[in-house]
Amino acid sequence: MRGLAAGRVRLAYELHRSSKHDPSTRLAKHAPILFLHGFLGSKRENRQMSRNLAKELARDVYALDLRNHGDSGHHPKHDYMEMALDVESFIGQHGLVRPTLIGHSMGAKTALTLALHSPKLVYNVVAVDNCPINLPIGPDFLTYLEGMAKVEQHTVRTHAEADEIIRQFELDPPVRLWLLSNFVKENGSPYLRLRVPLDILKKAMGPLGDFPYNSGNVTFQGPTLFLRALQSNYIPQSSFPLISHFFPQSEIVDMDCGHWIVQDRPKQFQEEVVRFLQKY
């Protein structure tokens, strides 16, 4: 296998195999699915849903860690094109043919970027509560980074100790649990280690509000599903014309929940994704 191109990060992943896996099959319905998490997330949060989709759709599902997240490597550049090129490199390394991309939030914009950058590489896309517009990151995410930095300043042995510190930021229990999943045990050490580079991610707040394509003739003609959370503002109605421009074969489905659709509405999420993917 050839080495990675300069600037590319080798992405950690979990492979959830279909029970009906047939490596000789090249039909689209048997093509693999790549599942991309959101900011400060990891492959772990999509583990159960990846298993469910692999079973119901009879397709292999790769849950990835994007750069500077989970078990993947760190790199000072953190924007959507860089992450999209990492995923493109992953597809090539593993010999995947026209995969489906499912991405939440940061992962959604990464998937949409790759679809526009390399439209022949991707079969279809499910974008979960994000879309191809410039929209500044909300202040909540800076609070998350501050809370994690506060924990990192202390030497803690358990997630319970870390939770006592991060409680000061008045975050909901599910949010605290999600943030604290980024603290892991170091081999041979009794203390928790933060596995994400806060300095890099804090600098990325600007780029993560952007989208690398603003206009022009670039489009993705493959089927694209946008799942829109009605209790968040990541897919405002004003974005619909731009969505149609970049992704003319798209549909938008509203879901009455907050930004974390996969966790808040897992049954409805799975039903919508299965319905969409089984059509093609």
**Catalytic (active-site) positions:** 105, 259
- What DSSP character marks residue 265? S
Q: Which two tokens stand for residue 209?
A: 């509000």
Work out whether the CA dihedral 214, 66, 69, 251 comes out positive or negative: positive
Cα distances (angstroms) measured from residue 140 to each of 106, 143, 169: 15, 5, 10
Can you give 83-146 as a three-state secondary structure string?
Answer: HHHHHHHHHHHCCCCCCEEEEECHHHHHHHHHHHHCCCCCCEEEEECCCCCCCCCCHHHHHHHH
Radius of gyration of the chain (CA): 18
164 Cβ contact partners less than 8 Å away, ≥ 6 residues apart: none
CB 204 within 8 A of CB 38: no
E strand or H helix at 252: strand 250-255
